[in-house]
Amino acid sequence: MMDWKKMKGIVPTIVQEENTGKVLMLAYSSKKSLAKALREMKGVYYSRSRKRLWVKGESSGNAQKLKKAFADCDNDSLLFVVKQKGSACHTGGKTCFFKEIALKQSRLESKGAE
Amino acid sequence: MMDWKKMKGIVPTIVQEENTGKVLMLAYSSKKSLAKALREMKGVYYSRSRKRLWVKGESSGNAQKLKKAFADCDNDSLLFVVKQKGSACHTGGKTCFFKEIALKQSRLESKGAE
């Protein structure tokens, strides 16, 4: 069902917290990890660095209950809606997306009045 | 600042709607598209299929105003918080993640009572 070929067997998987709507992390799913996630209703992913199945929280205790899962229109990415125990990020932050990048609005409009 | 090497010059970019918290789509950013997005405060991405910069809404009219941008802890993915004009998905749906996947809770616990 998913397009596993596009990225050589994995698809990016957005993880969103159910009750807050916060985007917690971006992980990757393999065919095997997705099957296990759906079956066990848990945050289970494929770790690119360790090259193996990764049950989120297996060492940290910060596990995720999988509440809903969605495929996108092209079947090349996933969205997991989860209940997060503790923090999602290995730095201890609730979410991995805590580094805000400054927007640099163009000043062209206000330059050279007249 | 971003880790452009891990995925050969692009990073996955989660796009979330500002007022609803809905995850709209997963796109990809290149160094160039990210610079343009931050400068012009717009949903600008790198199209993998067309292999070029892609200003969201350039043909459909469904443009995005970039309100906030975040890098994740590993600098290998981005989160864009946007104001979406019309629908994000090319199918006409508000979000690209409209295909819910059934969870298959294991029945092991209830099998073979005793």
Residue-range domain boundaries for chain A: 1-114
Interval A27-86: pLDDT, tens:
999 999 999 999 999 999 999 999 999 999 999 999 999 999 999 999 999 999 999 999
For the cut 70, the answer to whether the pLDDT of residue B114 exceeds it is no
Q: Are strands B52-55 and B64-71 parallel, antiparallel or unpaired?
A: unpaired
**pTM reported for the whole predicted model:** 0.92
Q: Which residues pair with B46 in a beta bridge?
A: B53
A105 vs B contacts (CB less than 8 Å): 39, 41
Q: Quick one: pLDDT at residue A9? A: 97
Contacts with A89 from chain B: Cβ below 8 Å: 73
Length of chain A as a residue count: 114
Q: Which residues of A touch B97 (CB under 8 A)?
A: 14, 70-72, 79
C-alpha to C-alpha distance for A42 and A80, rounded to whole angstroms: 10
B65: which strand partners? Answer: B42, B83
Nearest CA in chain B to A79: B97
- A49 — contact with chain B (CB < 8 Å)? no
**Which of A99-103, A109-113, B10-14, B55-59 is predicted with the least confidence, judged by mean pLDDT?**
A109-113
- CA closest to A19 among chain B residues: B21
Q: Do B42 and B33 touch, CB atoms closer than 8 A?
A: no
Whole-complex ipTM:
0.91
DSSP B81: E
A77, A78, A89: which to substitute to probe chain B, counting the most B Cβ within 10 Å?
A77
Per-chain mean pLDDT for chain B: 92
Confidence check: pLDDT of B108 > 60? no
Choose the CATH number for B1-114 among 3.10.50.30, 2.40.40.20, 3.10.20.810, 3.30.110.30.
Answer: 3.10.20.810
Contact criterion met (CB < 8 Å) for B106 and A25 = no
Angle at B73 between CA B100 and CA B70, to 5 degrees: 70
Under 8 Å CB pairs connecting chains A and B tally to 105
Contact of B53 with chain A, judged by CB distance below 8 Å, is answered with no
Predicted local distance difference test score (pLDDT) of residue A1: 85
A83 close contact with B: CB closer than 8 A:
no
